[in-house]
Structure 1
Amino acid sequence: MVLAACGQAIGSTAFPSPPARTTSASQETPAIPSVSVPTPGSLAPLVESVKGAVVNVEVQAREPVAARGQLRLPPGWAEQFGLPELPQGNARGPVQQGLGSGFIIDAKGLVLTNNHVVENAERVRVKLDDGRAFDARVLGRDPLTDVAVLQLEDAPGELPFVKLGDSDAMRVGDFVLAIGNPFGLASSVSSGIVSARARDIHAGPYDEFLQTDAAINPGNSGGPLFNLKGEVIGMNTAIVREATGIGFAVPSNLIHTLLPRLEKEGAVRRGWLGLAAQDLTPDLARALGLNVEKGAVIADLNPGGPGARAGLQDNDVITQVDDTPIVSAGNLTRAVGLMRPDTQVDVHVLREGKPRELKVTLGTRPAQRGEPAVPTREEDSAPAKGRLGMRLADDPEGQGVRVVQVEPGSPADRAELPPGTLLIQVGEQKVASAREAAEALRSAKPGSMLLLRIQPPGSDVPLLRALPVPS
């Protein structure tokens, strides 16, 4: 990067010196008292109070490459479950260096940054404004909102930190301050305003960004966006490369909701209704004989999904989930996605013009394209993965439960259960979800041979498999 001088600075115009005056000892020029004039509207006190908690995140990462002899997913399954469809060969690709930003949110070294900053990281090094540096481990990350949580290793318990503020309280036109590491220029500060709220930039199903005209550049990713109280109201995440003054930040209230799950569970398990919805338009409302203008129309239901089991039907218009009004399909996705699986919710619908209320127990949202497979719950997947060497997930099309990962040499591998296998029955129990399957597998007697009914990937013919259960 080439830097150039900016030319003449404001206020540097030279004026001719006044003529010299002669004085006598009895006629001295009186001294002008020194006056400290405060700088009006300066952000310097705010910057000084928060910049110590803003960090540089340095990453060494490798793109994952399938190890030699590793089991591979059948065609189409990698994309469907969000798992990498990788070539055979070396276990790891070349090392890549990356830079980003982040901020400390507690004195013991808990750091927030973007998922895309630390994805595939082999080593993460965090540098503070005061020159100290610490290795960090990734506690959790969520690709769908681009949020990740780090923990500094061997950090003292008295680090500077900042607090998350209330992003919902921000108004269009409120002043904001961004601090980060653009192009490796540490602790760079820019300011601007909130340009818009709840922006959907089509980056994912949970888009609800704050838009700002504060200067954000490559390297600012993961850095904080402050209000004038010094609270973080957003995490700088994305820019429009062809434009100037258009940047986007993940709202702090969304981060606050996800933080406990990322810190403790390492991932975000999201609620799922098991349906496809679209916005209610005036034309659709007229065709359905409705007098409402906003809502989410059920276009398709997953057979056996949570919504179908609770009695939801095609063409139902969802207008409210618990206390949250539903005005669009995207609004429905975000509202349900912030809820935990297994939560029972009241879903208000209009069916043939008449209001109805149904109680639905949410399932776990299956992995979508571009994200890793999400198990129904950690305790469900652990026995299957650790003891039997496989990981399960609900089928994205609602067909039941799929085997999505298999460890080479494991009991699942020996039982010929390749990734993509549809699991129909475990012992004498038919299973319709990853949760049911994991419970059935967990209850299997150690040392026994468990009979499974499966449907291999790419086949419509059910087969039997014998799964050895370790002692």
Structure 2
Amino acid sequence: MSASDTKTKWKPVAVAAALCAGLGVLAWPSLRAQAALVQTQAPATTAAPAAALPAAPPQGAQAAQNAPMSSVVLPNFADLAQRVGPSVVNIRTLIKRPAGSDDADGGAAIDDQMRELFRQFGIPLPDAPRQQPRRRSKPDGDSDAQEVPSAIGSGFILSASGEVLTNAHVVDGASEVIVTLTDHREFKAKVLGVDKRTDVALLKIDASGLTPISVGDSNRIRVGEWVMAIGSPFGLDNTVTAGIVSAIKRDTGDFLPLIQTDVAINPGNSGGPLINTAGQVVGINSQIYSRSGGFMGISFSIPIDEAIRVANQLRANGRVIRSRIGVEIGPVSSDVAKSMGLPPGNTGAIVQKVEPGSPAAKAGLQPGDIITRVDGVSVVRSGDLPRLISSIQPGTATTLGILRNGKAQDLRVVVVELKDDSATAGKDGGSAPSDKGSSGITTPLGATVADLSDSDRKQLELDGGAKVLRATGRASRAGLRGGDVVLALNNVRIQSAAQFAQVAKELPANRAVTALVRRGDWVNYIVIPPGQ
């Protein structure tokens, strides 16, 4: 997909520098001018700074929380940048390419393009020597491999022993990783571990005199809180940008809920820290939301609490050990949640498929069950379930709170290690039951249904249900269609077409009806609206 494609894309911020064509340079107003414009905005509460760093300025968020609105001032980003800057590093990577390949000097070509672009806009660049491909000899003496620049990113020093935290996509596929400190010292880094699911990587450099960053609590950040980012956008080391937290626990389809901010993040910022007003890291800058490939006012960071948990496993095992139970799940719509009596805001996750022989199957979990809790922790959204399950040690027995046919119950399941994505990959679709030789029973819901044949029951591994031959009126508007199998109506299990027709007849026409439907290999709830 080209950079000119107008469709919205999620992009790691370590995208190719060539996507910057058309870059504009905007000057931020002075801090005094900003204060005049936003003097009614108060920074949000943050954690107290660690003892390793000097105390936060007295105008910090904690002091401002109870202050009159007219006396609130902006955080001193200059002091924050001075304190945290030495903990931030520049990361560049090299990859091996065959000599004479078409893109063997792609990194240098992109570098030239960016330098020309910056010259056009009058942006000064440091006089850095151009990185030439470095030729490496094979063991047999045939020198036909060379290392070329691959990517530029950021990171931060996690410990005095030389551990550096960054994004997985910054070092992905690199043959060599070079870390540059703010005092211009350079070190070859060892990659201790990479976790692509969370986009976190842990590096190690052999250096002394390091300044570790102070780690904050990402669970305490609030929407509207001031935050700052430090990184190397387009290779410009220790660039500082600032903004506010726009949203928390933003689900973008990744394995983790992310922190959304309006802090300017660009290619090269990947892996850099997101800093609160106490000078503590609360996130790792990782993604941008963009239609063009450049910054558009929305950026995302990995919560530092989750990143530290991943780093601890990478340090100990070189990889992250996760668990699974063997189900495929989907979201529960607000209409279904309301009809099932779920509390507002807690929709849970519907089980759409249970893997044969899996821990879920052994525990008795069934398609159509709604998982609402894991060891007492609420499953607010469907995306919460894999995050909760994966954090449990393999072999541990855990309690799932479920809703089955409108009734709450608990199931004990022993989680197992998640070996590979393919182990849980689902198959969409599946064969629909045959409706040959049946005229069916027409019901008040607008669905014409028939009994499942013996071959249908065997093929779908069902012991009951009513297959839909045609859907009109209310049923059609709800999305019911021929080939579907209705397993339950308003939490009443359906064994036959006659039972379906009888239950449908007794339901009031002025109320919505919840139906549990099997379509191919998937199970989900739909709500049939009132009316004719």
Q: What TM-score does the superposition give when structure 1 sets the normalisation length?
A: 0.62
Partner of 1:55: 89
Q: Determine if the alignment matches structure 1 residue 185 to structure 2 residue 219.
A: no
2:277 aligned partner, one-letter code = L
Note the alpha carbon deviations across 1:389-428, whole angstroms, 9 max, x for none.
xxxxx57569xxxxxxxxxxxxxxxxxxxxxxxxxxxxxx
**Could you tell me which of 366, 369, 381 is aligned with 1:316?**
369
Partner of 2:300: 248
Distance change (3 Å), C-alpha of 1:259 and 1:6:
closer
Q: How does 1:9-24 map to 2 (within 5 A)?
A: none
* SS of structure 1 residue aligned to 2:274: strand
Shift of 1:282: 4.6
Note the alpha carbon deviations across 1:121-152, whole angstroms, 9 max, x for none.
11111000011111111101111110000011
Structure 1 CA distance, aligned partners of 2:340 and 2:26? Answer: 63
Contact 2:273 2:281 in 1 (8 A): yes
Structure 2 CA distance, aligned partners of 1:5 and 1:43? Answer: 21
Distance change (3 Å), C-alpha of 1:131 and 1:266:
same
**Could you tell me which of 193, 196, 212 is aligned with 1:161?**
212
Shift of 1:367: 2.2
Distance change (3 Å), C-alpha of 1:336 and 1:5:
closer
* SS of structure 2 residue aligned to 1:348: strand
Contact 1:180 1:223 in 2 (8 A): yes
Unaligned 5+ segments in structure 1 are 12-37, 65-90, 370-393, 399-471
* Identical columns (%): 39
Contact 1:319 1:348 in 2 (8 A): yes
**Could you tell me which of 359, 363, 367 is aligned with 2:416?**
363
Contact 2:166 2:284 in 1 (8 A): yes
Shift of 1:339: 2.4
Q: How does 1:62-461 map to 2 (within 5 A)?
A: 62=96, 95-152=148-205, 154-156=206-208, 158-202=209-253, 204=254, 206-242=255-291, 244-285=296-337, 290-292=340-342, 294-368=347-421, 396=425
Note the alpha carbon deviations across 1:197-237, whole angstroms, 9 max, x for none.
111223x3x13110111111100000000001111000000
Contact 1:366 1:396 in 2 (8 A): no
Note the alpha carbon deviations across 1:154-186, whole angstroms, 9 max, x for none.
322x31111221111000000001000000100
Structure 2 CA distance, aligned partners of 1:139 and 1:51? Answer: 24
2:389 aligned partner, one-letter code = V
Distance change (3 Å), C-alpha of 1:275 and 1:92:
farther
Distance change (3 Å), C-alpha of 1:270 and 1:10:
closer
Distance change (3 Å), C-alpha of 1:395 and 1:253:
closer
1:172 aligned partner, one-letter code = V
* SS of structure 2 residue aligned to 1:336: helix
Structure 1 CA distance, aligned partners of 2:398 and 2:164? Answer: 33
Contact 2:326 2:424 in 1 (8 A): no
Contact 2:218 2:304 in 1 (8 A): yes
Note the alpha carbon deviations across 1:89-108, whole angstroms, 9 max, x for none.
xx989744211000001101
1:44 aligned partner, one-letter code = A
Note the alpha carbon deviations across 1:357-415, whole angstroms, 9 max, x for none.
1111111224227xxxxxxxxxxxxxxxxxxxxxxxx57569xxxxxxxxxxxxxxxxx
1:341 aligned partner, one-letter code = P
Distance change (3 Å), C-alpha of 1:352 and 1:6:
closer
* SS of structure 2 residue aligned to 1:222: coil
Unaligned 5+ segments in structure 2 are 1-19, 32-58, 60-72, 99-143, 428-532
Structure 2 CA distance, aligned partners of 1:63 and 1:179? Answer: 31
Structure 1 CA distance, aligned partners of 2:397 and 2:30? Answer: 63
Contact 1:62 1:96 in 2 (8 A): no
Shift of 1:264: 1.4
Structure 2 CA distance, aligned partners of 1:41 and 1:284? Answer: 45
1:332 aligned partner, one-letter code = L
Structure 2 CA distance, aligned partners of 1:6 and 1:196? Answer: 25
* SS of structure 2 residue aligned to 1:149: strand
* SS of structure 2 residue aligned to 1:121: coil
1:361 aligned partner, one-letter code = V
Structure 1 CA distance, aligned partners of 2:316 and 2:217? Answer: 23
Contact 1:234 1:252 in 2 (8 A): yes
Contact 1:273 1:305 in 2 (8 A): yes
1:167 aligned partner, one-letter code = S
Shift of 1:322: 0.6
Q: How does 1:25-40 map to 2 (within 5 A)?
A: none
* SS of structure 2 residue aligned to 1:304: coil
2:319 aligned partner, one-letter code = A
Shift of 1:6: 8.4
Structure 1 CA distance, aligned partners of 2:320 and 2:306? Answer: 12
Structure 2 CA distance, aligned partners of 1:314 and 1:120? Answer: 40
Shift of 1:117: 0.3
Structure 1 CA distance, aligned partners of 2:224 and 2:419? Answer: 38
Structure 1 CA distance, aligned partners of 2:203 and 2:279? Answer: 21
Distance change (3 Å), C-alpha of 1:159 and 1:326:
same
1:166 aligned partner, one-letter code = D
Shift of 1:62: 4.3
Distance change (3 Å), C-alpha of 1:290 and 1:5:
closer
Distance change (3 Å), C-alpha of 1:274 and 1:54:
same
Structure 2 CA distance, aligned partners of 1:368 and 1:138? Answer: 23
1:48 aligned partner, one-letter code = Q
Structure 1 CA distance, aligned partners of 2:426 and 2:333? Answer: 26
Q: What TM-score does the superposition give when structure 2 sets the normalisation length?
A: 0.55
Contact 2:349 2:372 in 1 (8 A): yes
* SS of structure 1 residue aligned to 2:214: coil
* SS of structure 1 residue aligned to 2:187: strand
How large is the RMSD of aligned CA atoms in angstroms? 3.1
* SS of structure 1 residue aligned to 2:307: helix
